[in-house]
Amino acid sequence: MFSGFDFDVIQRSLPYLWQGMLFTLGLTFLAMIGGIFLGTLLALMRLSGFRVLNMPAGGYVNLLRSTPLILVIFWFYFLVPLAIKKISGDAYAQGIGPFYSALIAFTMFEAAYYCEIIRAGIQSVPRGQVQAAYALGLTYRQAMMAVILPQAFRNMVPILLTQGIILFQDTSLVYVVGLTDFMGAAGKVAQRDGRLVEMYLFAALVYFLLCFSASHIVKRLQARYSVGR
Amino acid sequence: MDFSVFFQPAFSGGGIYLDWVLSGIKWTLLVSILSWIIAFTAGSVLGVLRTTQLTVLRAPAAVYVEVFRNVPLLVQMFIWYFVLPEIVPKSMGDWLKTRMPMPEFWNAVLCLGFYTASRVAEQVRSGIQSIPKGQTEAGLAMGLTRLQVYRHVLLPMAYRIIIPPLTSEFLTIFKNSSVALTIGVLELTAQARQISEYTFRTFEVFTVATVVYVLITLTVTVAMRELEKKVRVPGYIGSAGK
CATH class of the domain whose range is B28-186: mainly alpha
Does B189 contact A70 at a Cβ distance shorter than 8 Å?
A: yes
Residue pairs between chains A and B whose CB atoms are closer than 8 Å:
98
Closest chain B CA to residue A197 = B83
The span from the CA of A29 to the CA of A165, in Å, is: 10
Roughly what angle, to the nearest 10 degrees, separates helices A182-193 and A196-225? 160
Mind telling me how many Å the CA of B8 is from chain A's nearest CA?
22
Q: What pLDDT digit, counting tens, does each position of B47-66 carry?
A: 999 999 899 999 999 999 99
The span from the CA of B240 to the CA of B232, in Å, is: 8
Does B74 contact A197 at a Cβ distance shorter than 8 Å?
A: no
Q: What pLDDT digit, counting tens, does each position of B179-237 carry?
A: 999 999 999 999 999 999 888 888 999 999 999 999 999 999 999 999 988 888 777 65
The span from the CA of A61 to the CA of B203, in Å, is: 20
Does A1 contact B79 at a Cβ distance shorter than 8 Å?
A: no
Does B79 contact A207 at a Cβ distance shorter than 8 Å?
A: no
- Say yes or no: A169 contacts chain B, CB-CB below 8 A: yes
Contacts of B114 in chain A (CB under 8 A): none
Q: Of B226, B214, B127, B232, give the one whose Cα is nearest residue B171.
A: B214
pTM of the model: 0.90
B160: left (phi over 0), alpha (psi -120 to 50) or beta: alpha
Flag whether pLDDT at A97 surpasses 90: no
Choose from A24, A71, A75, A219 for mutation: most chain B CBs within 10 A: A71
Contacts of B182 in chain A (CB under 8 A): 175-176
- Say yes or no: B180 contacts chain A, CB-CB below 8 A: no
User: Which residue in the set B69, B70, B178 is minimally distant from A70, CB to CB?
Assistant: B178
Does B206 contact A66 at a Cβ distance shorter than 8 Å?
A: no
Contacts of B216 in chain A (CB under 8 A): 66
Alpha-carbon radius of gyration of chain B: 22
Q: Is A110 exposed, middle or buried (0-12, 13-18, 19+ CB in 10 A)?
A: buried
The span from the CA of B72 to the CA of B154, in Å, is: 32
| Predicted local distance difference test score (pLDDT) of residue B26 | 96
Q: Please give the ipTM for the structure prediction.
A: 0.89
- Say yes or no: A71 contacts chain B, CB-CB below 8 A: yes
Q: What pLDDT digit, counting tens, does each position of B15-30 carry?
A: 888 889 999 999 999 9
Q: Label residue B241 by pLDDT band (50, 70, 90).
A: very low
| Predicted local distance difference test score (pLDDT) of residue A3 | 62
A148 contacts A129 by C-beta, under 8 angstroms: yes
Flag whether pLDDT at B94 surpasses 90: no
Give the Cβ contact number of residue B172 at 10 Å: 15
Q: What pLDDT digit, counting tens, does each position of B34-47 carry?
A: 999 999 999 999 99
Does B79 contact A204 at a Cβ distance shorter than 8 Å?
A: yes
